[in-house]
Amino acid sequence: MPSRLPFAAMAGAALLVITSAASAAPIQLTVTIENLSPVNSISFAPLHVGFHSGSFDSFNLGEVATAPIISVAEGGSGTDWQAAFAAADPGAVRGSIGGLLQPGQSASAMFSVDGASNPFFSFASMVVPSNDFFIGNDSPTRYRVLDAAGNLLITAITQRARQVWDAGSEVFDPLAAAFVGNNDLRAPQNSVVAFNFAELAAFNGLTTGTGYTFASNLAADSDIYRISFAAAVPEPGSYALMAAGLLAVGWRVRRRGTPAITAA
């Protein structure tokens, strides 16, 4: 004898399928970057970013800097950083945001990210003026931005002056520093990655590449950079309305005495 499936139950099952599919799909993330440093203080090269599985590690505190992070710290291009990222994690979602980001400026970009496969976020950007200073995350799993269902776990990452890294790859020399000197004159230092923001004050009074006179004005806890995340996802209300409509149809069908739908 054929079984009977009430229409309301079918509507509930349909809603479950709809919401499950929505939560499993990649979400659109808008990533916004802001230079929070004081007027006439540090600027930043383009931000190199990647959403990934947690396998790419471009540098470590106390170790000699290698080509990936040097390509960020010494010139901002990040060419080797991007190539190494792609080789270590082919499924990662990578890109860069903005151009030269001066004090008070911001920029944004959108990325399609699957929280199940690429929940972690890594970033790197050169700090200028400098010979080889940068911001970035040491541990590849430091920032888990999404859970497996695509829900945001972090809405913003703020960097302070004390989190500025020195790659230790280039000798400190204002005449050879990017943004105030000729970076082609750089000389190898062969040191290790360390925290260092205090040396930025040595650039005070120099004219930058865009014409402002540099003044660091940074203390250890000065906010210098913010990365914000905003997800564009289907409105939950749209699914609720769909479910309500299906349930209402089922209610009307049963009220009129129409036979229930028969399942084979």
Residues 6+ apart with CB under 8 A from 141: 54, 120
Domain ranges of the chain: 26-234
**pLDDT value for 233:** 55
Residue pair 44/35 in contact (Cβ under 8 Å)? The answer is yes
**pLDDT value for 24:** 57
* SS3 at position 86: helix
Rounded CA-CA distance 70/178 in Å is 13
**pLDDT value for 184:** 84
**pLDDT value for 142:** 98
Q: Which two tokens stand for residue 46?
A: 């383009």
Q: Which two tokens stand for residue 224?
A: 């210098």
- Please return the burial class of 252, using the count of CB atoms within 10 Å of its CB with bins 0-12, 13-18 and 19+: exposed
**pLDDT value for 19:** 41
Phi/psi of residue 34, nearest 5 degrees: -135, 135
Identify the CATH number of the domain defined by range 26-234: 2.60.40
**pLDDT value for 166:** 98
Dihedral sign computed on CA atoms, order 10, 11, 14, 19: negative
**pLDDT value for 192:** 98
**pLDDT value for 232:** 85
Tens of each residue's pLDDT in the chain, 264 residues:
444 444 444 444 444 444 444 445 899 999 999 999 999 999 999 999 999 999 999 999 999 999 999 999 999 999 999 999 999 999 999 999 999 999 999 999 999 999 999 999 999 999 999 999 999 999 999 999 999 999 999 999 999 999 999 999 999 999 999 999 998 898 999 999 999 999 999 999 999 999 999 999 999 999 999 999 999 855 554 444 444 443 343 434 344 444 333 333
Residues 6+ apart with CB under 8 A from 51: 29, 92, 93, 94, 111, 113, 118, 119, 120, 121, 145, 146
**pLDDT value for 264:** 34
The DSSP code for 80 is H
Rounded CA-CA distance 161/22 in Å is 40
**pLDDT value for 239:** 45
**pLDDT value for 230:** 98
Dihedral sign computed on CA atoms, order 43, 132, 46, 225: negative
**pLDDT value for 14:** 44
